[in-house]
Structure 1
Amino acid sequence: MTGTVPGAQVRLAHAKLMKFTRHTVGVAGFLLVWQILGMSGLFRWLPPATATLVRTVTLAFDPAFLDDLRGTLTAAIIGLPLAVLVAVPIGLLLGTVPAVEEATRVFVEFLRPIPSVALIPPALFFFQPELNAKVALIVFAASWPILINTIYGVRDVDPVSEETLRSFGFGRGAIIWWVSLPSAAPFIATGVRLAASITLILAISVEYFVGGSSGIGSFLIEASTGIGADAMIDVIAALLWAGVIGLVVNTVLVRTERRLFRWRTT
């Protein structure tokens, strides 16, 4: 018994090392191809990877870009928790009360396909200043994956657990709190992870649409109005920052989800 534990640890460490190696090789291969294409001149708009990565690093010390970065993250940090506070209770209600779900199904299916980007003009008209418009659109767009996942999670609840609490005299509210919500929590966490990327997309889209304000989208507008290779380097460097932020947020949420719901992945 004691001999199998070190062996399992070795296999786990080897698997992690192989995974890290594959990721490293993939990134290195992508950067190599990018560098070759950038130096070949086949795509005049594509700068070499080295110059772009250097600019990406220097942006971390650019006060103006850091202000833009702060503007985008502020809207995302405010909007995502608000979306959770809105979508989870509604999802619990729709998932546990079939009559309410049937009565609102048409309304939900009507609103859900509406592109959030198309709502930017009315959002800017009704919500001032611009930060409020960004937050409002983030809440609207990010609520849908959380809402849908909450509904599916509640429907996946073991009916035996519900009947057990009901037999002991617990009401609907207690059953939702002690059974439905914990059972749906992994689904909700997945919805939050999906919604996190949407928050960045909406924030940057609003900033790009408005222009002249603080945010990565505004930085992209200013950079794209420039001339020459330096302008494109700034554009791609800003996009790399947006991608890095999204990657970091997704990694943190995935690891948090695995820690909180380790029983679900085993």
Structure 2
Amino acid sequence: MTENSRTRLVRGVIGAFAAAAVAEALTRLGVVDVAPVTEVAARFFALAADPGFLANALDTILAWALGLALATLAAVALGVLLGSVPFLGRASEVVVEFLRPIPSVALIPLAILLFEGGTDMKVALIVYAASWPILLNTLYALRDVDPLAKDALRSFGFGPLSVLWRVSLPSAAPFVATGVRVAAGIALVVVVAAELLDGGESGIGVVLIEARSTGGSTDVMLAVAFWAGLFGLAVNALLVRAERVAFRWHAVRAGEPT
């Protein structure tokens, strides 16, 4: 770990403790009517040993992972196709720009009706919501590939598929990975929102619904929210690290620490 990284870590820890102290004071003084930080922290660690919560969290994570994997495969394949064939890219531009702004949360009632809730509904919503950042990053990355590099390969007699495989895809890969990282966060938000509105049998959203129905246990609600946030933070950190390892050359060129 570099000195700058250690400094950022220390500052982050100090900031987190300061924010927790302020939140504790506000709740104890009655300024904010939620459970104090100390009670939320106690519930946070208690949930780690709660089989019921762990089973619900696992259900959410499995739906999230499956939906994100399918979205990545579909969006990358479609992005490569539209980005490599100019005619298809131009023909689909209106459709992409029309569908992209539609909020995935607004489609939850329709998804519940079509899939009757459950994992299929959550996966379908994740695929829709998570595909857009991956698709757009793939399209924009392919369009920004250095034309001189492609022309140089063509001058040696390589065909379109070889140029795509040897130049376009390697150049676009770091940006596609960034799209996947953005999509991972979106997928987590969507799956929890779908569980909250669906009111199904399992998932983190179901735990939140049960906490609300049993007197509004804000310590449980906040602890569950923090677990979801911690999972999202861990996934983002892993993906960032994977990007730096897989695309070390890109990080070096961009001046980022490796």
TM-score normalized by structure 1?
Answer: 0.91
User: Any idea what the Cα deviations from partners look like across 1:146-176, whole Å, max 9, x if unmatched?
Assistant: 0010011111211122112222222222211
1:254 matches 2:243: no
Aligned residue in 2 for 1:159 = 147
Q: Distance in 2 between matches of 1:226 and 1:236?
A: 15
Q: Distance in 2 between matches of 1:172 and 1:57?
A: 55
Aligned residue in 2 for 1:18 = 7
Aligned residue in 1 for 2:48 = 60
Kept after mapping to 1: 8 A contact 2:138/2:175: yes
SS at match of 1:52: helix
Structure 1 residues not aligned, in runs of 5+: 1-11
SS at match of 1:142: helix
Q: Distance in 2 between matches of 1:212 and 1:190?
A: 32
User: Any idea what the Cα deviations from partners look like across 1:160-215, whole Å, max 9, x if unmatched?
Assistant: 22112222222222211111111000000000000001111111111111114200
12, 19, 32: which one pairs with 2:21? 32
Q: Distance in 1 between matches of 2:27 and 2:84?
A: 55
- Computing the radius of gyration from Cα coordinates, the structure with the larger value is 1
Q: What is the aligned-residue identity percentage? A: 48
1:137 matches 2:132: no
Q: Distance in 2 between matches of 1:141 and 1:215?
A: 19
Root mean square deviation, CA, Å? 1.3
1:263 matches 2:252: no
Kept after mapping to 1: 8 A contact 2:111/2:117: no
Q: Distance in 2 between matches of 1:127 and 1:165?
A: 48
Displaced runs of 4 or more, over 4 A: none
1:149 matches 2:137: yes
1:100 matches 2:95: no
Deviation at 1:129, TM superposition (A): 5.5
1:237 matches 2:243: no
For residues 13 and 167 of structure 1, do their structure 2 counterparts lie closer, same or farther at Cα, with a shift above 3 Å needed?
Answer: closer
Q: Distance in 1 between matches of 2:30 and 2:53?
A: 29
Aligned residue in 2 for 1:89 = 77
Q: Distance in 1 between matches of 2:48 and 2:94?
A: 47
Question: In the alignment, residue 115 of structure 2 is paired with which amino acid?
Answer: F
Q: Distance in 2 between matches of 1:37 and 1:183?
A: 50
User: Any idea what the Cα deviations from partners look like across 1:11-49, whole Å, max 9, x if unmatched?
Assistant: x732222111111111111111111111111122x2110
Aligned residue in 2 for 1:74 = 62
Q: Distance in 1 between matches of 2:116 and 2:165?
A: 37
1:220 matches 2:202: no
Question: In the alignment, residue 194 of structure 1 is paired with which amino acid?
Answer: V
TM-score normalized by structure 2?
Answer: 0.94
User: Any idea what the Cα deviations from partners look like across 1:55-76, whole Å, max 9, x if unmatched?
Assistant: 0010011111111101100101
1:182 matches 2:180: no
Q: Distance in 2 between matches of 1:14 and 1:119?
A: 47
Q: Distance in 1 between matches of 2:107 and 2:215?
A: 31
153, 178, 191: which one pairs with 1:203? 191
Q: Distance in 2 between matches of 1:238 and 1:208?
A: 13
Q: Distance in 1 between matches of 2:148 and 2:2?
A: 40
